[in-house]
Amino acid sequence: MSFVVPPFPSFDPDLAARLQARIAGKAKPPGSLGRIEALAVQISLIQGTETPRVDAVEAYVFAGDHGMNADGVSAYPSAVTTAMVATFLAGRASVNAFAAACDVSVRVVDAGVDADLAPHPALIGAKIRRGTRNAAVEPAMTDEELDAALAKGAEIARGSAADALVLGEMGIGNTASAALIMHRLATAALGDCIGAGAGHDAEGLARKRAVLARAAARSAADTPLDVLREFGGLEIAMMTGACLGGAAAGKVVIIDGFISTAAALAAIRLAPGVGDRLVFAHVSAERGHRLMLQAIGAEPLLDLGMRLGEGSGGVLAAPVVRAAARLMRETASLDAVLSGSLLS
């Protein structure tokens, strides 16, 4: 394994104290802006400044296919992944509509789509292989493939010129991989981790549960790298690298829903300090997401009953993140208001 997990030391306590005093001294009753105040402090600590700025926001939709889908873990065929990538690039998916409304740019990352994709200005070609192997019968990827996915995700995040990154995904069957990652790294009962995904009926959900039980019985992996190798998706592993690389570069990394949180969970288990540098956008309606957030002590910003993926919830949280940064940077202090100095 050549990928090096970056260190994440604790935030500067002196800066943290100054930021708390700064937010408490704004022209408003203390605590009156609720969670936005804590978010403003977090963003400032991530950027290491009392005057944070979140202007440019980019959403990265990591796409990959899953070998387990051959056993029916999704209600849809793997070809839908390729079709949705084309929809993202055409600007016609839900995440594109939300991104246009929220002034967020969208890029698609081919981490492991089972198709040859034509070049496109918004497409990052990072394919490790055409989909993972079937994790119900063998490891989803090799050590070398996992290493390459982690490194590429970190490289993409570090290379972004944006202040904040939204991490989203597309991959038919990836709720199955995310459920197995949650089962092992959040130490939750497998049944509590498995939801309907893209829309299983009762028969399909029973089939999904049976396939995941076979996968879990096949391997006792319980460390982050082993779990990613045995059960992960290439897009999930690449998002794990992006969590680590983006946070190490001082970027605000916004985590979308169930699958993105599984990637963040793996990153946190690899480097516990990275959790303080991640912003969790929303709680998904997908079974298991709320429990996974609780397992890592994350409090999401929004609860909209969404379970689409694509980075859609992360994009909708971007204006809240921008607002929190501007609160810290632009809102006057109560002392300045009372002194009348703002009018001079």
Query: Tens digits of per-residue pLDDT, 227-255?
Result: 999 999 999 999 999 999 999 999 999 99
Which CATH number is 13-53+326-343 given?
Answer: 1.10.1610.10
- pLDDT above 90 coverage of the chain, percent: 94
* Whether the predicted pLDDT of 184 surpasses 80: yes
* Whether the predicted pLDDT of 343 surpasses 80: no
pLDDT of residue 344: 53
Task: Single out the catalytic residue among 58, 230, 286, 310.
Answer: 310
As a three-state string, the secondary structure of 70-100 is HHCCCCCCCHHHHHHHHHHHCCCCHHHHHHH
pLDDT of residue 48: 97
pLDDT of residue 204: 84
pLDDT of residue 322: 98
- pLDDT above 70 coverage of the chain, percent: 99
Amino acid making up residue 159:
G
Q: Is 280 left (phi over 0), alpha (psi -120 to 50) or beta?
A: beta
Report the pLDDT averaged over residues 254-260: 98
User: Between these two residues, 72 and 137, which has the higher pLDDT value?
Assistant: 137
Structural contact between residues 304 and 320, judged by C-beta atoms closer than 8 angstroms: no
Structural contact between residues 93 and 236, judged by C-beta atoms closer than 8 angstroms: no
**pLDDT tens per residue across span 79-118:** 999 999 999 999 999 999 999 999 999 999 999 999 999 9
Alpha-helical segments (H) within the chain: 13-24, 35-47, 79-89, 94-102, 143-159, 174-185, 190-193, 202-218, 224-231, 234-248, 258-270, 289-295, 312-330, 334-339
Going by pLDDT thresholds of 50, 70 and 90, the confidence category of residue 299 is: very high
| Rounded distance between C-alpha atoms, residue 66 and residue 196, angstroms | 16
Locate 309 and state its tokens: 């993926």
Nearest to 78, CA basis, from 93, 60, 95, 64: 64
The interaxial angle of helices 258-270 and 174-185, nearest 10 deg, is 40
- Phi then psi for residue 242, to 5 deg, are -70, -35
Amino acid making up residue 109:
V
pLDDT of residue 1: 67
DSSP state of 69: G
* Whether the predicted pLDDT of 20 surpasses 80: yes
**pLDDT tens per residue across span 28-47:** 999 999 999 999 999 999 99
Sheet holding 278-280, edge to edge: 123-125, 105-112, 57-64, 164-170, 252-255, 278-280
Where are the chain's structural domains?
13-53+326-343, 57-323
Going by pLDDT thresholds of 50, 70 and 90, the confidence category of residue 123 is: very high
Class of domain 57-323: alpha beta
Going by pLDDT thresholds of 50, 70 and 90, the confidence category of residue 59 is: very high
* DSSP calls for 201-225: -HHHHHHHHHHHHHHHHH----SHH
Going by pLDDT thresholds of 50, 70 and 90, the confidence category of residue 203 is: confident
Locate tokens 């929220």: which residue? Answer: 102
pLDDT of residue 340: 85
pLDDT of residue 342: 82
Report the pLDDT averaged over residues 179-196: 95
Report the pLDDT averaged over residues 251-271: 98
Nearest to 243, CA basis, from 257, 256, 255: 255
Q: Determine whether 310 is an active site residue.
A: yes
CA torsion through residues 6, 10, 14, 20, sign: positive
Indicate the pTM of the whole model.
Answer: 0.97
| Rounded distance between C-alpha atoms, residue 150 and residue 239, angstroms | 8
pLDDT of residue 196: 79
pLDDT of residue 246: 98
Task: For the chain, give the mean pLDDT.
Answer: 96
Locate 13 and state its tokens: 């306590």
Half-sphere exposure of residue 243: CA atoms within 13 angstroms, side-chain side: 31
* DSSP calls for 267-312: HHHH-GGGGGGEEE-B--SSTTHHHHHHHTT---SB-------TTH
Report the pLDDT averaged over residues 215-225: 98
| Rounded distance between C-alpha atoms, residue 60 and residue 167, angstroms | 5
